[in-house]
Amino acid sequence: MGKILRIASSRRGTNHSKAHRFFLPKTKYNSLASNLKSQTHTVTLAFFEEEAVDREKLRTLFPREELLFIPELLGVETAPAAQSAEVVSTFVRSAVNTEVLRELPKLKFLTSRSMGTDHIDLKTCAERGIIVSRVPAYGENTVAEHTFALILALSRKIFQSYERTERMKFNREGLRGFDLAGKTLGVIGVGKIGRNVCRIARQGFQMQILAYDVQQDPALAAELGFTYVANLDELLSQSDVITLHAPYLPSTHHLISLENIAKVKKGAVLVNTARGALVDTQALLWALNEGILQGAGLDVLEEENFVYEEAELLINDVPAGEDLATVLRNHILVERDDVIVTPHNAFNSHEAVARIFDTTVENIQAFLAGKPVNVVKAKD
């Protein structure tokens, strides 16, 4: 039986596009923009994973365009619903690969409502002349705050305490935690989110901070009071709390691995609010079982889409080999008392979602005006 799609469509009156800063050079976009804005052509915009999309506001902002609202993830099965779309907006759980792009023959512009774009095949987009934009900043403080929510939940055993009192048991046996003040925080990746984590750690909790980043900024280190380490092993061996804020790239795949996790300071906790594949799930389970890590707080998991769509696995494609093993290990992680898992929710505040929406609108309006902004290009 085919998958049933819930699609809403809207088409109305006149468009009022406005200018934007930080435009790319016009050249090759002018003829495209002219065609898209012509009186005889109605542009179709498709929004996938549109839980946080304000439909009525979009109808007001794009009155001349045809709007399609598709709650499901963008995939091979759902893409045909947007075959007529020149513009597609989606989120991080949609894997926009070659097969999916093949189902979108008219696609000219893809805007992801996310900072990262590792879920998009940028090379294929470039080959087809599809422009890709993202939201470069929306959750620097939002994700940093969620990071500390996980750290505190681990350090003060909040989940175990809550679970016990829910059963009307008020003894404190096994609930002793540890102070953050004076402890060493290891921050992997000192970008926009990582530097806010450093700021909170230093100013709010009087922690010592070590940082590992391929691009070092001595002035930033002096301003925020952290120290760069020469290599990742040094950070792992000295940190009481380790938190990841690096992008997912081929070079950062399994940044925490079976090879280096044994070097982690015994009794440390690990937090990941960045990308699931930065951490080798097998290595993480091993470190927890061996008592090297005393806990982990995870907002992201390897192969997390398979976990989220568990019911569909029973009737659709079942992951094979290592993917299936990772899915099974994720289930073990979720069941453990020393692991806290949140559903890729670190970004999800009212303020951050509003910033995502506003920037996505700006991205679309700028593209329609022939001056794309926040463009992402494939790396060689």
Bridging pattern class, strands 339-341 and 375-376: unpaired
Report d(CA 300, CA 233) in Å as an integer. Answer: 23
Report d(CA 42, CA 35) in Å as an integer. Answer: 10
State the number of CA atoms in the 13 A half-sphere of 299 facing the CB.
24
For residues 241 and 186, the answer to whether their CB atoms sit within 8 Å is yes
Rg (CA), the chain: 23
Q: Distance of CA 124 to CAs 95, 97, 308, 368, Å?
A: 13, 8, 27, 22
Q: 3-state class of 309 per DSSP?
A: coil
Phi, psi (deg, nearest 5) at residue 82: -120, 30
Q: 3-state class of 350 per DSSP?
A: helix
Query: Catalytic amino acids?
Result: 275, 304, 344
Name the DSSP class of 275. -
C-alpha closest to that of 349 among 208, 138, 71: 138
Q: Distance of CA 345 to CAs 127, 146, 254, 341, Å?
A: 33, 8, 21, 10
Tokens at 63, concatenated? 């009155």
For residues 272 and 278, the answer to whether their CB atoms sit within 8 Å is yes
Bridging pattern class, strands 66-70 and 8-11: antiparallel
Tokens at 356, concatenated? 């995502």
